[in-house]
């Protein structure tokens, strides 16, 4: 498959350019909030961040809630007619079956990787995406603790700090890094055999979880990422960032929850190799 040559940002629709500017502002704000929380962290660890368990067993902090609320306010001020889906402040049960009330929907994960964040792992990300009739058109992934950021506009490529990035041009299972998410999530999604099949065939099969693995793929540092039990707010931004970097995101239904996805994401040759290995049609 030949990937179209990215166009300059000036060629993007005006709304997409405005949305990118807003998403970058929102990411700046989120970075400030996360770094402030890190500076104020005490020896009490998670409790200093206001961490608690949600009903699904995942972790949420006061920082997650504040970031999402502040990002929502920015979006609402500039695009009041746009819908918003966020990990922490949306009613996921009622929204799962309903169509968004607008053709434009923002999808927010205020802190992707909260479990690591509360333990001081500096790889959490803020994910912000605008979808147009369900298709991602603008995306930002910001990693506050390490000062890294990717952004993409559909048709205009993926950039890191103003520099275009691309996925790996080829794939070698004995040389390239392949990332995977937590093995627990593969068991949760009914795909635990994927990890078992892949690990014996790959020399560098590394656990880079959450959005960080997708970041490595989009910038060409890793060839592939396997990720499971991905929610809509996990996938919306990372999908566009990889696709606009010339990659492919192959999605497979979660065997236990149709709202979630299991993905193979990366360069075309690597995705096809992995699909063949796993028998994933």
128 is in an annotated binding site: no
87 is in an annotated binding site: yes
In this structure, are residues 224 and 265 in contact, taking their beta carbons and an 8 Å threshold? yes
16-48 CB burial, b ≥16 within 10 A, e <16: bbebbebbbebbebbbebbeebbeeeeeeebee
Which two three-digit tokens encode residue 212? 């960080």
Instruction: Look at residues 175, 173, 174 and name the one whose alpha carbon lies nearest to residue 277.
Output: 173
CA 63 to chain centre: 18
**Residue at token pair 């300059």:** 8
Q: How far is Cα 207 from Cα 227, in angstroms, rounded to an integer? A: 10
Residues near 89 by Cβ (< 8 Å), separated by ≥ 6?
Answer: 65, 68, 69, 72
Q: How far is Cα 162 from Cα 24, in angstroms, rounded to an integer? A: 12
Residue 155: left if φ>0, alpha if ψ -120 to 50, beta else—which one?
left
268 is in an annotated binding site: no
93 is in an annotated binding site: no
Instruction: Look at residues 25, 28, 49, 30 and name the one whose alpha carbon lies nearest to residue 38.
Output: 49
210 is in an annotated binding site: no
Per the annotation, where are the binding residues for Mg(2+)?
A: 87, 109, 111-112, 234
Per the annotation, where are the binding residues?
A: 87, 109, 111-112, 234
């Amino acid at each position: 498959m030949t990937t179209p040559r990215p166009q300059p940002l000036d060629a993007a629709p005006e709304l997409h350019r405005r949305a990118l500017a807003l998403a970058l502002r929102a990411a700046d704000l989120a970075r400030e909030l996360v770094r402030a929380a890190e500076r104020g962290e005490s020896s009490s660890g998670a409790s200093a961040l206001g961490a608690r368990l949600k009903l699904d067993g995942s972790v949420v902090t006061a920082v997650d809630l504040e970031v999402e609320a502040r990002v929502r306010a920015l979006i609402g001020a500039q695009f009041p007619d746009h819908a918003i889906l966020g990990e922490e402040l949306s009613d996921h049960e009622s929204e799962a079956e309903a169509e968004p009330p607008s053709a434009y929907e923002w999808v927010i994960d205020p802190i992707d990787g909260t479990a690591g964040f509360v333990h001081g792992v500096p790889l959490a990300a803020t994910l912000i995406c605008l979808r147009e009739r369900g298709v991602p058109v603008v995306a930002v992934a910001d990693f506050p603790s390490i000062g890294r950021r990717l952004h993409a506009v559909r048709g205009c490529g993926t950039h890191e700090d103003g520099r275009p990035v691309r996925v790996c041009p080829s794939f070698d299972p004995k040389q390239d890094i392949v990332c995977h998410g937590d093995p627990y999530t593969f068991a949760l999604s009914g795909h635990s055999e994927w990890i078992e099949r892949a690990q014996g065939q790959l020399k560098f099969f590394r656990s880079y979880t959450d959005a960080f693995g997708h970041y490595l793929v989009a910038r060409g540092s890793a060839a592939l990422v396997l990720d499971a039990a991905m929610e809509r707010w996990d996938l919306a931004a990372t999908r566009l960032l990889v696709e606009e970097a010339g990659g492919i995101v192959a999605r497979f239904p979660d065997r236990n929850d149709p709202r979630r996805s299991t993905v193979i994401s990366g360069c075309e040759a690597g995705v096809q190799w992995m699909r063949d290995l796993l028998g994933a049609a």
